[in-house]
Amino acid sequence: MKTDKEKALEIADILTDFKGADTVVLDISQLSSWTDYFVITTVNSSAHWKGLYRQIKDYAKQNELTIRVPDRKLPSGDDWNLMDMGTIVVHLMTDEARNFYDLEKLWHGGEKLL
């Protein structure tokens, strides 16, 4: 059985294979009580993030990960979309959003695995 770390790294590989740019995996398990890994990648269009979303959704289904849907309606946007799978959270961000929110800097205490 795969560990969550292995799954996060496999998700990063999928994102990279499907042209997600500058993909990183952060182990934030020592900093957060609600998740262990952030997988962050840059997308270049709404069609691109939708394609990546489908790929990760298929991976999640095959690996018994549940994508959590928020209880309330969140504003949808093309700049930043996330997939919350409990211990793994995938961030699909445009270059502009990624530079603005700078999650790697915000969570700088986490270990960069990739």
In single-letter form, the type of residue at position 14 comes to: I
Name the band, by pLDDT with cuts 50, 70 and 90, for residue 77: low
The confidence score (pLDDT) of residue 12 equals 98
Q: In Å, how far from its chain's centre is CA 93? A: 9
Name the band, by pLDDT with cuts 50, 70 and 90, for residue 46: confident
Where in the chain are the domains? Answer: 4-103
The average pLDDT across 39-49 equals: 94
pTM of the model: 0.91
The architecture in CATH of the region 4-103 reads 2-Layer Sandwich (3.30)
The confidence score (pLDDT) of residue 114 equals 86
